[in-house]
Amino acid sequence: MATINSLLHNKRGKSKTNQISALKDSSLNDEVTTNPSKLPNIMNSFFATIGKKLADKIPVSNINFRDYLTNVHQSESFFFTPVTIKEIEHEINLIPKNKAFGLYSTPVSFLQVSRHVIS
């Protein structure tokens, strides 16, 4: 079975990185700059403005999103039922006390003591 490192032709698990050494600088009429102190600002400016630029290119429509939902039947859709505070507290109480829980290995005793705040 292939590993990620072998698929990427990566030896010893070290990742390969390509450093950006030049970018077009819009403040210099799109001339290419290699000044390392300007590169982060050029990248930041690009990513801070690209969302609005792309959104502005989306054509305005008079169609309401609900118009696309006219033929949807409840049997063809799904929804999440609301969860009650008691259900959350019950689930927290079911976690074995000698275990750590979740992504950050939160002690179960902490969860149980703070369950009224969490829920």
Q: Which residue has the higher pLDDT, 97 or 15?
A: 97
Mean pLDDT, all residues of the chain: 81
Q: Which of 15-19, 47-51, 78-82, 108-112 has the lowest mean pLDDT?
A: 15-19
pLDDT for the residue 25: 87
pLDDT at residue 87 greater than cutoff 80? yes
pLDDT for the residue 50: 92
Q: How many CB atoms lie within 10 A of CB 11?
A: 9
pLDDT at residue 100 greater than cutoff 80? no
pLDDT tens digits along 9-32? 555 555 566 788 888 888 888 889
Q: Which residue has the higher pLDDT, 10 or 64?
A: 64
pLDDT tens digits along 37-47? 899 999 999 99
Structure tokens at 71: 């033929």
Phi, psi of 34 (to 5 degrees): -115, 10
| Cβ-Cβ contacts under 8 Å for 22 (sequence gap 6 or more) | 32, 33, 34
CA dist 56 → 30, 37, 50, 51, 65 (Å): 22, 30, 10, 9, 18
How large is the greatest C-alpha to C-alpha distance in the chain, in angstroms?
63
pLDDT at residue 91 greater than cutoff 80? yes
3-class SS of residue 14: coil
β partners of residue 100: 107
3-class SS of residue 18: coil
